[in-house]
Amino acid sequence: MNDDTCTPLKDCASADWYNAYEDERCPQGSRVESVIISKSAAGEWQERQTLVLTVSLASALGTGKILLIYKGVSSYSLDGFGYDEKSQGLGVWLNDEVGATKNSFLSHDVSLTNGKIRVKAADAEYQWQALKPGISS
């Protein structure tokens, strides 16, 4: 992965770099900047609607942005979640676990300094966006 990359989250979670804090793409230590819940619609009459949850992170090393985009969300929870003055964001990513439900949905549990994010979705993408020189997160 060099500059901008989009990969299925389940593939990233098993990669060596994903849990290697010294790698700029690793989410551990990243600051949560936003969580956006939106609706996506498809079909001739936009009748097939699904939830999309997007988590934006400023990388721990300050060299890029990480977007986690969950599509076809069946459930989510934000526990003990709120603005964290110390991190100047919504908390710092401590660790996470990616798995699968018995219905073949992706499950993702994330522990933050001040709460938890839990998502079950049909699919999830990991996007790495390298910052251009001279731009800080």
pLDDT digits (tens, 9 = 90+) for 86-119: 767 788 999 999 999 988 999 999 999 989 999 9
| Mean pLDDT value across residues 119-131 | 95
d(CA 83, CA 85): 6
Give residue 133's pLDDT band: very low, low, confident or very high (50, 70, 90): low
Tokens representing residue 101 in the block: 């439900």
The residues pairing with 106 across neighbouring beta strands, listed in sequence order, are: 100, 121
d(CA 66, CA 6): 10
**Antiparallel, parallel or unpaired: β 93-100 and 64-79:** unpaired
Classify residue 85 by its DSSP letter: T
Specify the pLDDT at position 82. Answer: 76
Specify the pLDDT at position 134. Answer: 55
pLDDT digits (tens, 9 = 90+) for 22-59: 999 999 999 999 999 999 877 777 677 899 999 999 99
| Three-class DSSP labels, 65-101 | EEEEEEEEEEEEEEECCCCECCCCECCEEEEEEEEEC
pLDDT digits (tens, 9 = 90+) for 71-90: 999 999 999 877 777 767 78
Domain ranges of the chain: 27-130
Work out the end-to-end distance of the chain between its first and last CA atoms, rounded to an integer number of angstroms: 19
Give residue 1's pLDDT band: very low, low, confident or very high (50, 70, 90): very low
Per the confidence metrics, is the pTM higher than 0.85? Answer: yes
